[in-house]
Amino acid sequence: MTRSAPNRLVPVVAIPEIRDYERINAELVRYLDTGHGQVRLAGAEGQRLLVAGLAGGWNAVVEVEGCAGPELAADLDAPGLTVVCRGPAADGAARGLRSGRVVILDDAGAALGYAQQGGQVVASRGVGPRAGLNQRGGVLVVLGPAGPLAGERQAGGLLFAFGDRLGPHVGRGRRGGRLVQLGSEGDGLAGVAAEEAETFRSLLRDLDAWLRAGPE
């Protein structure tokens, strides 16, 4: 583990040296509580529940390097925190997200954003089946191909995806919210309501540097 002074080098939490997700998250919180604006979790090898269950008023970016295991950033409730997964993320990433941002720059597994309540989730590549399952609030953006049953049982929030990249059975059992199917030409926003289009543009504009950087 590399330690550094605030506002200088980015501190690194070496996941393989700790392994236990509760200890990993506790070390992350320690750095956030001391005012670091960026923390890197390095060497993820499928560990579950990284950055999960955290709640606080931090204003920071958490980078996750490697392969994040199931339920990355589940139940996160930290409005000023942006979690950037530089590699793939397994099933259930951003499950129950309350606030904050989760950005996945490589492929994501099934049930991305399951039961999301708030915050924003952006997946820049492919996602597995049932993205946005039981979504209740917040914004979920899928920029790559989506597996079957995207938006299943959606009850609230906004789910953006390109219509020509969606798998079958989109929105099965939807009860509310908005499933916005983007077009294949230009920015995909032709015919999209102005308020929803601005939400989409604003989020991607804020995250542009990360999205351009791409996966590891």
For residue 8, name the pLDDT band (cuts at 50, 70, 90): low
Question: Which DSSP category does 11 fall into?
Answer: P
Q: How many residues does the chain have?
A: 216
Cβ atoms 77, 98 nearer than 8 A = yes
| Percent of residues, the chain, with pLDDT higher than 70 | 96
Tally the C-alpha atoms within 13 A of residue 135's C-alpha that lie toward its C-beta. Answer: 35
pTM (2 d.p.): 0.94
Question: Which DSSP category does 152 fall into?
Answer: T
Cα distances (Å, whole numbers) of residue 55 to 51, 168, 169, 179 = 10, 36, 35, 28
Q: Tell me which residue has tokens 């560990």.
A: 47
Q: How do the domains of the chain map onto residue ranges?
A: 12-211
Q: Mapping DSSP to helix (H, G, I), strand (E, B) and coil, where does residue 66 land?
A: strand
Q: Tell the CATH superfamily of the 12-211 domain.
A: Glutamate synthase, alpha subunit, C-terminal domain (2.160.20.60)
Q: What is the pLDDT of residues 97-131, one digit of tens each?
A: 999 999 999 999 999 999 999 999 999 999 999 99
Q: What is the number of helices (H) and of strands (E) in the chain?
A: 4, 9
Task: Identify the CA nearest to 106 among candidates 55, 143, 56, 61.
Answer: 143
Residue 37, pLDDT above cutoff 60: yes
For residue 30, name the pLDDT band (cuts at 50, 70, 90): very high
| End-to-end Cα distance, the chain | 20
Average pLDDT taken over every residue of the chain: 95
> pLDDT at position 194, please?
97
Separation of alpha carbons 105 and 179, rounded Å: 22
Residue 4, pLDDT above cutoff 50: no
